[in-house]
Structure 1
């Protein structure tokens, strides 16, 4: 009888949660026969495995999206109104895009011109940049220099240094950073003197604490309104997501 019931049991096992089929209620012979039938079915229909994996990945992605939504809601003020992160684009824009970035991150560098193009073509996006140096000492030095520039010379100077550091490929030592600053009309030595200040340390520490709460472990990571985008995305894809969010309002 088991020989005729096995295909049905196999289908049930593949379609239902594991706990729905109690193998402990079978005899040793029935379990062996059942396992052999399942194996034979999968060998004859290997596409079922890929279908199951796809379903599992979709469920995991949905769970991650829901968890990220909750994290963004819980940390809303720290993400969007921390009082110190640089704000660019259109400060009054109807869409806010937040980027956690690292100057030594190749994907951050790849995203920079695409984000700039998105801001220029859209004209109604508020961009927030969060300094999140996680790729070693050179990353930390670069972030300290950029933040110190903001404290010394303001938002426009920060933007200029930020963009320059995104294109800078050398070692960010004292000589190179002073030369970079002076090339932008800034007092490089004065900026250097602020790099280890309490204010700079506080900004980096607060952003790191926020990233930890948001479970961010890589750059770039974007927050688009209520949604977290973990990793690099082409500008066209972000533009499509922004259009979708506007359509939902």
Structure 2
């Protein structure tokens, strides 16, 4: 491929300056115009150079984002991994931990739900933590309060049943539907409903909001997988790859 050369005056200027220190301000207007035309001509004749530069920029930006995510995860590690108010599923002794920030009315959370469950079962060595992050309105908050109250009133096994049922629920979330759900699962719906407005439940939701804010999260689902962040839905295979990457 024919590669046009940058004019001699531009090459001389580049060689006379330290790397990255070309001073266009020292050129005359005519020299700057010539330099600009030469650069444009070069890029038009060799567009792959621009593509390479864009790809390199994206790599650097992605690396910066990943480094920032790792720093946020490390700074909030205890709240992410050791919060006694968060339900732990999968393998509690797993070598990789997935933390999900979710909303029971989030369509993509519901889409991710069977794929996350499939990954947990097929892998068998993943610790899974749920963080209620109700951001889609009053019904989302109502569902989150009910799930958290279930854990506090009836324990982890009851929470898991309620969590699974709410993730599969396609109808409206109301006091009536939640009472019916508790009855279906043979739980004390009255005691759970009474606890939904307790200070203990409020404290869990508030802590999750604050943690999400510190992590820079504004949508659901959002995942922390080891020391990586996944913002939004990804298919099971992509999550599996992230888990495998954590294991080196």
Same fold (TM over 0.5): yes
Give the CA deviation at 1:243: 2.7
Residue matched to 2:56: 55
- What is the rounded CA distance, in whole Å, between the counterparts of 1:163 and 1:103 in structure 2? 10
> Matched residue of 2:100: which SS?
strand
Alignment of 1:98 onto 2:103: no
Question: How many positions carry a matched residue from both structures?
Answer: 241
Task: Name stretches of at least 5 consecutive residues in structure 1 with no aligned partner.
Answer: none
Give the CA deviation at 1:168: 1.4
Contact 2:102 2:132 in 1 (8 A): yes
Residue matched to 2:26: 25
Residue matched to 2:88: 87
Residue matched to 1:5: 8
Residue matched to 1:149: 150
Give the CA deviation at 1:140: 1.3
- What is the rounded CA distance, in whole Å, between the counterparts of 1:39 and 1:141 in structure 2? 59
Alignment of 1:195 onto 2:200: no
Deviations 1:110-129 (A, max 9, x none): 11111111111121211111
Change (3 A) 1:48 1:146: same
Change (3 A) 1:5 1:120: same
Change (3 A) 1:6 1:108: farther
Give the CA deviation at 1:242: 2.2
Contact 1:87 1:129 in 2 (8 A): yes
- What is the rounded CA distance, in whole Å, between the counterparts of 1:139 and 1:21 in structure 2? 56
Give the CA deviation at 1:8: 5.1
What TM-score do the two structures reach when normalised by structure 2?
0.88
Task: Name stretches of at least 5 consecutive residues in structure 2 with no aligned partner.
Answer: none
- What is the rounded CA distance, in whole Å, between the counterparts of 2:105 and 2:10 in structure 1? 56
